[in-house]
């Protein structure tokens, strides 16, 4: 199973959404998960993981989700290779048992060009990073995801679900 997650923040609370699906090219999710976390950390530049990691772990633990891969909105490695981002911290928190793929809409300073992925007719790339799976395989999976636009349909959907939560 593949799990895509996204988090929406309002003041000191977070709405966490997850969509589970079986195959990378699936058009529809198998399950939707929702959680809420209060008293979250303030955002600190360069340390986004301190705020988002507890949210993702809460969703996984609360719903006892078992996944083979997790797709996050963000970076595994901020530079694409060695500077740990949210995805690397998530991978470590899960004891390296689940591959993590990061899909970011904007580049982080110094991101390797090899992380760029063009989907659909968009001239703007997505930035893909991964751990527990080779980057080439991660890019192939994200490219194969359902949807004709830059952002895969299920990743757009999990973002909408997190934002729509009360």
Q: For position 47, what pLDDT does the model report?
A: 80
Q: Cα(17)–Cα(101) distance, rounded to whole angstroms?
A: 16
Q: Residue 94 — pLDDT band, cuts 50, 70, 90?
A: very high
Give the domain extent around 93. Answer: 2-164
Cα dihedral value 158, 74, 55, 63, nearest 10: 50
Across the range 53-78, mean pLDDT stands at 97
pLDDT band at 48 (very low <50, low <70, confident <90, very high): confident
pTM: 0.96
- Number of separate domains in the chain: 1
Distances (CA, A) of 57 to 13, 42, 48, 155: 15, 17, 14, 18
User: Which CATH number is 105's domain given?
Assistant: 3.30.2170.10
Mean pLDDT score of the chain: 95
Q: What was the pLDDT predicted at 155?
A: 98
The whole-number average pLDDT for the span 74-100 is 95
What is the per-residue pLDDT for 43? Answer: 82
Which residues make Cβ contacts (< 8 Å) with residue 60, sequence separation at least 6? 3, 18, 67, 94
The yes-or-no verdict on residue 16 having pLDDT over 80 is: yes
Give the pLDDT of residue 4. 98
Mean pLDDT of 124-150: 98
């Amino acid at each position: 199973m593949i799990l895509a997650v996204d988090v929406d923040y309002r003041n000191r609370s977070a709405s966490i959404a997850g969509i589970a699906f079986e195959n990378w090219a699936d058009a529809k999710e198998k399950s939707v998960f929702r959680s809420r976390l209060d008293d979250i950390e303030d955002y600190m530049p360069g340390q986004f993981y301190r705020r988002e990691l507890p949210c993702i772990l809460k969703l996984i633990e609360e719903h006892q989700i078992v996944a083979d891969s997790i797709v996050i909105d963000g970076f595994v490695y901020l530079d694409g290779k060695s500077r740990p981002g949210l995805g690397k911290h998530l991978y470590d928190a899960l004891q390296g048992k689940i591959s993590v793929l990061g899909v970011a809409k904007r580049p982080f300073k110094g991101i390797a060009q090899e992380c760029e992925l063009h989907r659909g007719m968009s001239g703007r790339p997505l930035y893909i990073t991964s751990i527990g799976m080779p980057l080439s395989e991660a890019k192939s999976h994200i490219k194969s995801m359902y949807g004709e636009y830059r952002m895969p349909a299920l990743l757009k959907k999990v973002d909408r679900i997190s934002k729509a939560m009360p």
